[in-house]
C-alpha cells in the first residue's frame, strides 16, 4: 500500500535521480544499455517537470517506450556508422596475425599443425610443409590460422 502511495507522488527529481543512477551504472557495465535507460529517465523527468500531474502509470509507460526506442535507434545508428578506432583488431586476436610471416617449428602434415606465434601456440591449416618453412597467415577461421607457403622457402 505504501508503494502505491509513493508511486502516486512521483516527482520529476525522482526520475532525475533514477537517470543519474542508471548513467553511473553504465560506467560499471559494458554495452551502453544503462546509458539509454538513464537518458529515457531524464526525459521522463523533464516531462514530469512540465506536467507535474501526470499519472504514474503514464510516466512508467513513457519510460518504457522511450527506453526501447532509444536503444533500438542507437543500435541501428551504430550499426550504420560504427565507431572508428586505431586498433580495430584489439579483441580479435587472430586477425592481428593476418599478413604476418612466420617460420614453422614443426612440420605440417595432413594440412594441420601448430605454429608458435609470439607467446602462444596456434592451430594452423594449410598445405603440408616441412619444419623451417616460411609461411604467411592469410585468414583466421575461429581459433585456427589459415596459412600458405611463401615462395622461396
Query: How many angstroms separate the CA atoms of 122 and 130, rounded?
Result: 17
- Global model pTM greater than 0.75: no
Q: How confident is the model at residue 152 (pLDDT cuts 50, 70, 90)?
A: low
pLDDT at 88 over 70: no
17-64, pLDDT tens digit by residue?
Answer: 999 999 999 988 877 789 999 999 999 999 999 998 898 899 999 999
**What is the mean predicted confidence (pLDDT) over 78-105?**
79
Query: How many angstroms separate the CA atoms of 126 and 137, rounded?
Result: 10
Query: How many angstroms separate the CA atoms of 93 and 119, rounded?
Result: 12
Query: How many angstroms separate the CA atoms of 131 and 151, rounded?
Result: 15
**What is the mean predicted confidence (pLDDT) over 66-88?**
85
100-147, pLDDT tens digit by residue?
Answer: 899 888 888 888 988 888 888 889 999 988 888 899 999 988 888 999
CATH architecture of 93-149: Beta Barrel (2.40)
Query: How many angstroms separate the CA atoms of 34 and 22, rounded?
Result: 5
Neighbours of 96 (CB within 10 A): 16
Query: How many angstroms separate the CA atoms of 27 and 35, rounded?
Result: 9
Domain boundaries in the chain?
Answer: 2-80, 93-149
**What is the mean predicted confidence (pLDDT) over 61-89?**
86
Nearest residue to 137 (alpha-carbon basis) of 112, 109, 101: 101
Amino acid at each position: 500500500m505504501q508503494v502505491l502511495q509513493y508511486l502516486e507522488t512521483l516527482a520529476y527529481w525522482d526520475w532525475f535521480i533514477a537517470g543519474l543512477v542508471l548513467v553511473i551504472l553504465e560506467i560499471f557495465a559494458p554495452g551502453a544499455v544503462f546509458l539509454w535507460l538513464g537518458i529515457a529517465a531524464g526525459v521522463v523527468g523533464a516531462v514530469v517537470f512540465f506536467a507535474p500531474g501526470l499519472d504514474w502509470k503514464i510516466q512508467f509507460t513513457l519510460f518504457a517506450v522511450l527506453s526501447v526506442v532509444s536503444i533500438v535507434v542507437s543500435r541501428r545508428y551504430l550499426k550504420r556508422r560504427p565507431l572508428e578506432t586505431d586498433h580495430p583488431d584489439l579483441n580479435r586476436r587472430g586477425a592481428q596475425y593476418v599478413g604476418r610471416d612466420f617460420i614453422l617449428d614443426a612440420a605440417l602434415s595432413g594440412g594441420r599443425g601448430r605454429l608458435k606465434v609470439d607467446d602462444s601456440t596456434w592451430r594452423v591449416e594449410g598445405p603440408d610443409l616441412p619444419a623451417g618453412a616460411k609461411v604467411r597467415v592469410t585468414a583466421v577461421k575461429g581459433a585456427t590460422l589459415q596459412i600458405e607457403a611463401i615462395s622461396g622457402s
